[in-house]
Structure 1
């Protein structure tokens, strides 16, 4: 559910006869990824500092370098004089209080747990920027990329550093199903986000293991373990970049392309 306060009072461009495009500050990297496709660059007066970090960004660094980045503090955000601030579910109380005091609209978006939820957020963000039509177009691209596959599901697991696994009720789980996989998280008794010990993985491996460790990296304590490398002789172990798990929105298009590629390689 999207939370907003004083939106109409602080955002006259939404109700005026001749709408003015709002000045936008985003303090969430996943919102940044959507803004890249739906907002005019001149509207974006601030983005999340994570979008300028090669390890965390979900947008091209060349794009994010064009904008002022903030860590989301009240001082930084207010200094940019936005009409509206777009954020994730967690915002510092001081920032919320400052925005309320100055009657600057804040809209918060929760972490999407499915493709439909992510598509709805894309539409909402695009509407907030004044470009609902662009949101409709991007939503259609995402929905087409994530159309469910008709192939027989193959057991798979996404395994991150330190053994963290996305389970039922996550966006990754929804994408796996749509690409023709069966998320094996439930088989191990794991919760929505949980840690799978190395011993359990070795004793009963899935048919496909999607590892978020970069290809060739051997220094991760879990994914670089010799026992995991030996699994590659018996099951399909393939890289699945962490950046494909950081956000929904347009990232879903790239994530589904990768998952479908892996599924084709596994065969029937």
Structure 2
């Protein structure tokens, strides 16, 4: 009988020598000759968040959805394939969470209904009724004048002129149809901030808050869906996949072109969103 280490104690286990997500991003950035400031300027990810991610601290990202978006954006900025990093993040943080149910998230939007659009059909119907009524009134008066002339020609007493009919007849007024606005978005109220988001060719993770910090929406906007938010002073947005979003602010379409997978933090107030 011998005393010593058992065969099981001599087993060797393969070490996971794969770099962490933050170290991989940092080393690739350094190899590309880029500074943190340059990466922050090109991706619009704030410098403290870039430093935190390179130290594998994702607590400042605001959640797993935004952490994935930041990782994808930084990886592309330094020339690194983001797919393996996203898979590594999901493996280390419990995988991608299930999408938030959409039904409760629409409650915030119902609080502020969209402005009523002009009813052009009713306006046109009213104009047509007015024209038909005027034509009928004119024809009725014309028949009375014809009867009076016929009676005078036959030798009968001429009818006494009626004060109402002897007065100058009003000239027909041609109804002018109101000019429709270029789009329903142009009718937004001027005393509020109105933001409309549409997911064109992909889904996007959206967070919208009012000036008082109240959450207007926080969830997934699927392809083909649109959301409109209003506030008396300010609307703060976080777009998790900004490249898929078409953005209207205060009735004006913005020409900003965001990249797919890019995270954007935006704030809009009343007036022209591009002024100043």
TM-score of the superposition, structure 1-length normalised?
0.22
Quick check: which has more Rg, 1 or 2?
2
Which structure is richer in relative contact order (CA contacts within 8 A, separation 6 or more)?
1
What's the TM-score once normalised by structure 2's chain length?
A: 0.22
